[in-house]
Amino acid sequence: MEKFLKESEYVDFSEPSVKALAQELSQGLTEDEEIAKACFLYVRDEIHHSGDYKDEVTTYKASDVLKYKTGWCYAKSILLAALLRANGIPTGFCYQRLSCSEYVPDIYCLHGLNAIYLKKYGWYRVDARGNKEGVDAQFIPPKEQLAFEVQPHEYDMDEIYDEPLDVVIEALQKYKTYDEMIHNFPDIKG
């Protein structure tokens, strides 16, 4: 589990603003499930999904996601991992390969989410991308209610990673605007 608790360049939970928020969200809570839910709800509801808001900044470090209050699903999963790891809750990264036709017709891309290790349930996947019409991600363990149900030609990637995939970080670092991102979403063909 140690690798799912470590800090990294992207999961920079000792950065003062991230650390302070992690402490604030867990204040008065003792159970890992309560802390995880508070962190999940904050990231889901208080951080813009860059695609929904057409934000012109692309973030990839937890501290930058918090600073600019926006991020693509991948970046939001990085902030959630940082908040949870700061609270001693093992958190990994998961992906789905989904149609991204809402942005560009006939393309597929990776969608980023998290797996949280809860003492009572084990690994539990959550999706903090942000709700909107047709998207209703919730934190109701042990039931998973992710943002998207996998459709034909889409799939869940089974692996839980301790760091975001390189292809994801490369895209977030290279493509800075909304328009650049929607034409260059990270993808792995399986």
- 105 lies in some domain: yes
Summarised one tens digit per residue, pLDDT across range 60-113 is 999 999 999 999 999 999 999 999 999 999 999 999 999 999 999 999 999 999
Summarised one tens digit per residue, pLDDT across range 106-158 is 999 999 999 999 999 999 999 999 999 999 999 999 999 999 999 999 999 99
- 189 lies in some domain: no
pLDDT for 189 beyond 90: no
Vertex 41 angle, CA 72 and 19, to 5°: 80
CA distance 34 to 15: 23
**What's the mean pLDDT in 46-58?**
95
- 190 lies in some domain: no
Go through 74-94 and write b for each residue having 16 or more CB atoms within 10 A of its CB, e for each that does not: bbbbbbbbbbbbbbebbbbbb
Amino acid at 88: G
- 187 lies in some domain: no
- 173 lies in some domain: yes
- 102 lies in some domain: yes
Report the candidate in 58, 32, 187, 9 with the shortest Cα–Cα distance to residue 118: 32
- 138 lies in some domain: yes
Q: Is 90 left (phi over 0), alpha (psi -120 to 50) or beta?
A: beta
CA distance 164 to 94: 8
Which residue range is the domain that position 124 belongs to?
2-182
Total domains, the chain: 1
Quick one: pLDDT at residue 139?
A: 98
User: At 77, which CATH number?
Assistant: 3.10.620
Report the candidate in 73, 115, 79 with the shortest Cα–Cα distance to residue 94: 115
